[in-house]
Amino acid sequence: MGSSKVKRQQQEIEELKSENAVFQMEIKTLKQQIQTNENENTKVTDTLRQEFGKIYALFPKIKKLLRIENLCSYLGFGKDLTIEISEMKPVGFKGKLYSSEYKQHFETSHSVAEIKSLPNDPDKLRLTIDGVSDVAWFRQKHNEFLKEIGIRNNLSLKNSNRLKL
| Other Cβ atoms within 10 Å of 134 Cβ, number | 19
User: Would you list the DSSP string of 58-83?
Assistant: H-TTHHHHHHHHHHHHHHT--HHHHH
What is the mean pLDDT of the segment spanning 67-94?
95
Is residue 108 predicted with pLDDT exceeding 90?
Answer: yes
pLDDT in tens, 114-161: 999 988 888 889 999 999 999 999 999 999 999 988 887 655 445 444
Please give the model's pTM, rounded to 2 decimal places: 0.67
